[in-house]
Every structure is written in structure tokens, then in C-alpha cells.
């Protein structure tokens, strides 16, 4: 497809379980970003990839969160031992180059932790 | 530490009238400012941007104004249409650094037919 895609679109899980969220950026985009939007909150930056490497992981909320990107394309965001406060919409975006003016967003994954 | 603030969580406007969405920021080093529009169950879509060296950018019904001395920008939509009803996010971009796009908390615009 032409845009950023994310899967699953919705995920409901029980507290304590691990979840994996996937992002397929626009083909050729070297930069990939993960954000989180909690209910009533703005967009919270989580992590950014330039190619396959993430220069700064300090935006991840806790050590239960990890992310990787392989082949300069697909990225996965993994949340271990999920907590109820992890419930949010997780958004992925990509841009042609790092720091480019416009980031193109995927539709998001709505995570609900029971 | 919220570097970009949208102090109005919601705004209602009559169809055909002007919608004015406001945004304030704290960092004078931002290079660009962007507006994104978000419908429920969708990711944000880019709407319009303005360079920090300009004070106005217009694209059809959408105009963004930047007042650097006041660290304030606004998005004007005229005439407003019911399809404009969405959440609007203001964002500020630093061209250097990893965490380079800072978002406000959004303003929900409702255009009443």
C-alpha cells in the first residue's frame, strides 16, 4: 500500500501478558517514529529509528517497552507484562529522512489492557 | 514538560463561519510548526505547516499565522464545513535531535451544520 500500515488495529489483552505491535512504514522512508496517545492526552513520543537504529530510547515509558526495526522497514513495538496504564492508541509514523518536515501516520493500534 | 500547548480542549463553530485554533509554545528554537487533523479511529493527517521564518502560510481554506514574539500560532479555517469536525493537533519541529516533533494535546473542533 501507499501509506503507513499498522497491525493489529485493535488489541485487547489481560494484565501481565506481552503484546507486540507492528508498523509497516511507507516504502523508502528511512525514519520511523512511535507515539502513544492515551485517553485525553496529546501524542507522546516514544522512540525514533533512523534506518535500523534508535539513537535515543529515553522516551520509552519503562523497561517493559522495547522496539526494533529490521531491514530498514518493518518495526515492532513490544510491551512486556502489560499494565492497565499501557492502554492507549499506539501510532507509528514515517518520514523520508530524519527531521523532515512531515511525518505520515498510520491508523494506530488501540491497545486495551484489562 | 509540555513545550507545545493547546489550551482549548474543544471549540464549536457554526458552518460557514471562521474557526480559529490556537497554539502556544515555549522553545524559540523550533524550526517549523505543523497542524495535524485526526478523525476517530484514524491516525493524524498532515494539514499545513509554516516555517519559523515566516508569519503566514495559506492553503485554500486553511491559513496558519505565526507570532514569534508571542510564541503563538493559530490555524484559521474559513469557511468552516461539517467535514472539518475532528481533533486538531499543533506540533513543533526541531530539525536537530531524535525527539524532534512535539505535539500539543489537541483541540476538538465541532462544526455545527
Could you read off the pLDDT of B100-111 as tens digits, one per residue? 678 888 999 999
Question: Which letter, b or e, does each residue of B43-70 get, where b requires 16 or more Cβ atoms within 10 Å of its Cβ?
Answer: bbebbbbbebeeeeeeeeebbbbbeeee
Of the candidate ranges A7-11, A19-23, A97-101, the one whose mean pLDDT is the lowest? A97-101
Q: What is the mean pLDDT of chain A?
A: 88
Ramachandran angles phi, psi of A101, nearest 5°: -50, -45
B15 touches B80 (CB < 8 A): yes
User: Chain A: residue nearest B32 by CA?
Assistant: A101
Nearest CA-CA distance, residue B7 and chain A, Å:
12
Nearest CA-CA distance, residue B70 and chain A, Å:
22
Q: How far does CA B28 lie from the centroid of its chain? A: 17
pLDDT band, very low/low/confident/very high, at A31 (cuts 50, 70, 90): confident
Q: Residue A42: which of B46, B49, B105 has the nearest Cβ?
A: B105
Pairs of residues, one from chain A and one from chain B, whose beta carbons lie less than 8 Å apart? 63
Amino acid at each position: 500500500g501507499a501509506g503507513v500500515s499498522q497491525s493489529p488495529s485493535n488489541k485487547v489483552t489481560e494484565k501481565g501478558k506481552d503484546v507486540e505491535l507492528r508498523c509497516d512504514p511507507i516504502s523508502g522512508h528511512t525514519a520511523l517514529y512511535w507515539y502513544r496517545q492515551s485517553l485525553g492526552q496529546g501524542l507522546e513520543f516514544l522512540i525514533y529509528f533512523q534506518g535500523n537504529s534508535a539513537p535515543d530510547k529515553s522516551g520509552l515509558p519503562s523497561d517493559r517497552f522495547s522496539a526494533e526495526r529490521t531491514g530498514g522497514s518493518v518495526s515492532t513495538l513490544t510491551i512486556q507484562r502489560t499494565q492497565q496504564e499501557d492502554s492507549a492508541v499506539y501510532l507509528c509514523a514515517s518520514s523520508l529522512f530524519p527531521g523532515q518536515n512531515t511525518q505520515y501516520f498510520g491508523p494506530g493500534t488501540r491497545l486495551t489492557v484489562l | 514538560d509540555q513545550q507545545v500547548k493547546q489550551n482549548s480542549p474543544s471549540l464549536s463553530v457554526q458552518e460557514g463561519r471562521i474557526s480559529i485554533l490556537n497554539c502556544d509554545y515555549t522553545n524559540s528554537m523550533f524550526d517549523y510548526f505543523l497542524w495535524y487533523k485526526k478523525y476517530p479511529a484514524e491516525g493524524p493527517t498532515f494539514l499545513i505547516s509554516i516555517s519559523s521564518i515566516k508569519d503566514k502560510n495559506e492553503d485554500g481554506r486553511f491559513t496558519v499565522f505565526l507570532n514569534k514574539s508571542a510564541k503563538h500560532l493559530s490555524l484559521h479555517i474559513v469557511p468552516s464545513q461539517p467535514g472539518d469536525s475532528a481533533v486538531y493537533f499543533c506540533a513543533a519541529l526541531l530539525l536537530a535531535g531524535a525527539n524532534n516533533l512535539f505535539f500539543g494535546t489537541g483541540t476538538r473542533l465541532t462544526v455545527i451544520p
